[in-house]
Amino acid sequence: MNNIKVAMSAFPSKICFYGCGNMGSAMLRGWVAAGVSPDIFHVVDPVAENLPAGVAVSRASQEVARPFDVLVLGIKPQLLSSLAPDIASLLAPGAWVISILAGTTTQTLSEAFPSARIIRLMPNLAAAIGKSPLGVFAPNETELVKTDIAAWLTPLGAVIWIDDEAHMDAVTALAGSGPAFIYRVIDALTKGGEASGLPHAVAAQLAIKMTEGAAILAATSPETPKALAARVTSPGGTTAAGLAVLDADNALDRLMTQTLRAARDRGTELAKGDAK
């Protein structure tokens, strides 16, 4: 649950979401849960639904009567070039464009919106409960402005500043796509529990609760995940037997490296317009 409340004096008076799919909706829900008034937000999206009550929705930019100082850009990366003029019509002079587009560089965004101030952001769906990692790249902003940006974003999770934009594709793979990989691990643990003789419902509950507890402990302990794993592992015990499978030929490390590399590279492809 999101227990962080926003200092409204530090929050923009109006924010437009241009494109509001799953990620944008998660951000909206996180902010509203933190006490931001829904009427601060205006969504422009032809099909968005199930948004928080009180959020204004327009199906086209022509329905919007005013420009915005802050716009969250949540369209498909390959649509940027065709939609840029429409998006630009919604921007006040010197507006911030907060892009959550995978693979789309600040140079590309600045060419599309030459008068805007560009911020790249990569959250994930846990923004809805205030638990998302938030990779942020804002190279042209002062430390004072970055403090304000962090204040806006903190209700959605942990703000992690990225100094080198070349790292943003890897941030997208790990922080943005990563939850799907963890969900698949949970599903695999459930199937493994079933194969070991547990009823499906019991295996699923154990897998979810075990993952929840392990993640919370990893987040709050001064010890590294490697050290925590060692604490669970007795020589010749059950954990050691299981780890021997994961560690054989670095199987798990190699699988995760390949997984994240594929996600990283796909983000770059999408930004270049490869929709295949």
Whether residue 100 is found in the same domain as residue 204: no
Residue 1 is assigned to a structural domain of this protein:
no
Phi, psi of 117 (to 5 degrees): -100, 125
pLDDT in tens, 33-57: 999 999 999 999 999 999 999 999 9
Residue 69 structure tokens: 């100082």
Nearest C-alpha neighbor of 121 from the set 74, 81, 83: 74
For residues 163-186, give the mean pLDDT. Answer: 96
**Does the pLDDT at position 9 exceed 60?**
no
**Does the pLDDT at position 7 exceed 70?**
no
Number of Cβ within 10 Å of residue 125's Cβ equals 18
Whether residue 50 is found in the same domain as residue 154: yes
Q: Of 123, 150, 172, which residue is a domain's last?
A: 172
Residue 3 is assigned to a structural domain of this protein:
no
**Does the pLDDT at position 6 exceed 80?**
no
Whether residue 82 is found in the same domain as residue 203: no
Cα 109 from Cα 119, distance rounded (Å): 9
Residue 2 is assigned to a structural domain of this protein:
no
Q: How far is CA 240 from CA 56, 209, 229, 232, 236, in A?
A: 55, 21, 10, 9, 6
Whether residue 49 is found in the same domain as residue 115: yes
For residues 119-123, give the mean pLDDT. Answer: 97
pLDDT in tens, 253-273: 999 999 999 999 998 887 776
Residue 114 is assigned to a structural domain of this protein:
yes
**Does the pLDDT at position 276 exceed 90?**
no
How many residues are listed for the chain in this entry?
276
Whether residue 191 is found in the same domain as residue 152: no
Q: Of 172, 191, 220, which residue is a domain's last?
A: 172
Q: For all residues of the chain together, what is the average pLDDT?
A: 93
**Does the pLDDT at position 8 exceed 80?**
no
pLDDT attached to residue 140: 83
Whether residue 105 is found in the same domain as residue 184: no
pLDDT in tens, 122-136: 999 999 999 999 999
Q: Which residue stretches of 49-142 are H helix? A: 80-88, 106-112
Q: Which domain holds residue 231?
A: 178-271
Whether residue 158 is found in the same domain as residue 226: no
pLDDT attached to residue 183: 97
For residues 102-128, give the mean pLDDT. Answer: 96
Whether residue 165 is found in the same domain as residue 184: no
Cα 61 from Cα 110, distance rounded (Å): 20
pLDDT attached to residue 191: 98
Whether residue 41 is found in the same domain as residue 156: yes
Whether residue 168 is found in the same domain as residue 186: no
Q: 165: domain CATH number?
A: 3.40.50.720
Cα 184 from Cα 182, distance rounded (Å): 5
**Does the pLDDT at position 90 exceed 90?**
yes
Residue 187 is assigned to a structural domain of this protein:
yes
pLDDT in tens, 62-85: 999 889 999 999 999 989 999 999
* Pairing status of strand 132-137 against strand 15-18: unpaired
Q: 185: domain CATH number?
A: 1.10.3730.10
Whether residue 168 is found in the same domain as residue 195: no
Q: Of 172, 197, 232, which residue is a domain's last?
A: 172
Whether residue 167 is found in the same domain as residue 182: no
pLDDT attached to residue 196: 97
Nearest C-alpha neighbor of 78 from the set 19, 137, 138, 139: 19
**Number of domains forming the structure of the chain:** 2
Residue 228 is assigned to a structural domain of this protein:
yes
| Residue 1 pLDDT level (bands cut at 50, 70, 90) | low
pLDDT in tens, 13-34: 999 999 999 999 999 999 999 9
